[in-house]
Amino acid sequence: MPETVTAPAPVPTTDPRVVRAIDLAWREAELLDRKDYETWIGLYTDDGSYVIPIDPDTDDFAGTLNMVYDDARMRRMRVTRMTEGYAIAAVDAARTVRTVSRFVPESVTDDEVVLRSAQVLIAYKRGRHDIWAADLVHHIRLSPSGDRIVLKVVRLVDSEDAVPAAGFLL
């Protein structure tokens, strides 16, 4: 007779640690829609990463090609390019509204929450609306001094197809 293995009960989204992680994911989305990139940078830990992989199944971001693979230095450079001087990404940037939902806690400890979610982003530019859909994973470090993002992975549903230049952060 096969052995029955019982999976651990999922952590509810009402768990206070998960609520904190969801609040941070929503705050990040709101900052990005407002193009408040300076505040957005502060949501990340110094060792944090922001990744948009091409391969929808990879977890080896350092060993595969990515659309974005930013550490703190690259996030700073990206924000500078989008906010200072004459850069087409800043001058002709789309207006965005995003919805982040379908939160699923993947793992929860007193120090970190790994949270999966879905994002639908509508971008409006030059009389045209574009839809960007993605699965997100946030690794969020919990701290009494403020919760921060350690890793954000944006897995676009069309990542293996030609993706247009965005002019905004996902």
Confidence of residue 94 (pLDDT cuts 50, 70, 90): confident
Is 131:139 a contact under the CB 8 Å cutoff? no
- pLDDT tens figures, 140-164: 999 999 999 999 999 999 888 877 6
The rounded distance, in Å, linking the Cα atoms of 128 and 125 is 5
Q: What is the residue whose two structure tokens read 């230049």?
A: 165
Q: Per the domain annotation, does 94 fall within a domain?
A: yes
Q: What residue numbers bound the domain in which 65 lies?
A: 16-156
Rounded mean pLDDT of 32-44?
A: 96
CB atoms within 10 A of CB 42: 10
CATH code of 34's domain: 3.10.450.50
Q: Per the domain annotation, does 170 fall within a domain?
A: no
Q: Per the domain annotation, does 6 fall within a domain?
A: no
Counted domains in the chain: 1
Lowest-confidence pick of 32-36, 117-121, 127-131, 149-153? 127-131
Question: Rounded mean pLDDT of the chain?
Answer: 90
Determine the distance from the C-alpha atom of residue 43 to the mean position of all C-alpha atoms in its chain, rounded to a whole number.
11
Q: Per the domain annotation, does 109 fall within a domain?
A: yes
Query: In this predicted structure, what is the pLDDT of residue 160?
Result: 83
What burial class does residue 132 get, using C-beta atoms within 10 Å of its C-beta: 0-12 exposed, 13-18 middle, 19+ buried? buried
Rounded mean pLDDT of 77-83?
A: 88
Query: In this predicted structure, what is the pLDDT of residue 156?
Result: 95
Q: Per the domain annotation, does 8 fall within a domain?
A: no
For the chain, the residue count is 170
Is 140:24 a contact under the CB 8 Å cutoff? yes
Q: Per the domain annotation, does 59 fall within a domain?
A: yes
The rounded distance, in Å, linking the Cα atoms of 115 and 71 is 20
CB atoms within 10 A of CB 47: 11
Q: Per the domain annotation, does 75 fall within a domain?
A: yes
Q: Per the domain annotation, does 57 fall within a domain?
A: yes
